[in-house]
Amino acid sequence: MLLAALTLSACGAGPGPERYGPPPAAPEEVTALARTIQDLGPGIDPAEAARAAEIAHAHARQLARDYRVTDPPLVHNTKVNMGLRDRGLCYQWAEDMEARLGEEGFRTLQLHRAISPGDRLFRIDHSTVILSRRGDPMEAGVVLDPWRSGGELFWSRTTEDPKYAWRPRAEVLAEKAAAAGLTDTASTRNMTATAAQR
């Protein structure tokens, strides 16, 4: 009877913070991203490229713990929309990743926000952060998408992303606002949040 009680209590305990999200990134994954960032063009500080890669991988996993991710992204979205989780929609991952990388004050790197509009079959709007060489457009950068695999960082050159066609966030929001007849920023932000929750 004691064994049965212990078994039941163990099953009901739920994961601790260390069990949310994926395991830490392998060193070679971090190195590969750092190399790709460094290769974005001349003038990029190798130390900044390495630091950005470390932060992107580590913070993606930290957000998975903070958001208590235990499911694939669309299931987690449903939990957020039902009030079972506080955060974890794609635009929230992008906001939090941008904020963390922005704390570094990179001199040779620049952050961009992007949206892939949900106008393709079975696709909802998706948001991410993109890192480029300072002064370059987002199309010349690297997508840093922690939402796609629930905290395991997906990254690729912007134009080589196999799933999403990225556009500047401000441009997409302006189009959506115009289509809805909205002119104020607060309404545009609310529309973006609603689109991301679908």
Q: What is the pLDDT along the chain (198 residues), one digit of tens a residue?
A: 433 433 333 333 344 555 788 999 999 999 999 999 999 999 999 999 999 999 999 999 999 999 999 999 999 999 999 999 999 999 999 999 999 999 999 999 999 999 999 876 667 899 999 999 999 999 999 999 999 999 999 999 999 999 999 999 999 999 888 888 876 555 555 554 444 433
Residue 191 lies in a domain: no
Note the pLDDT of residue 179: 86
Q: Please check whether residue 190 lies inside any domain of the structure.
A: no
Report how far residue 15's alpha carbon sits from residue 24's, in angstroms, rounded to the nearest whole number.
Answer: 17
Tally of structural domains, the chain = 1
- 77 falls within a domain: yes
Residue 140: domain span: 24-166
Output the pLDDT for position 4: 40
Residue 18 forms part of a structural domain: no
Q: What is the pTM of this model?
A: 0.82
- The answer to whether residue 172 is domain-embedded is no
Q: Which of 168, 144, 131, 166 is nearest to 59 (CA)?
A: 144
Task: Spell out the residues 6+ positions from residue 95 whose beta carbon is closer than 8 angstroms to its own.
Answer: none
* Residue 132 domain-assigned (yes or no): yes
CA distances from 135 to 51, 94, 109, 163 (A): 19, 20, 8, 26
Per-residue confidence (pLDDT) for residue 123, from 0 to 100 = 72
> Tokens 């990743």 identify what position?
97
Q: What is the pLDDT of residue 198?
A: 35
pLDDT at 9 (0 to 100)? 31
**What are the tens digits of pLDDT across the range 114-141?**
999 987 666 789 999 999 999 999 999 9
Could you tell me if residue 176 is inside a domain?
A: no
Q: Tell me which amino acid residue 124 is.
A: I
Query: Does a structural domain hold residue 19?
Result: no
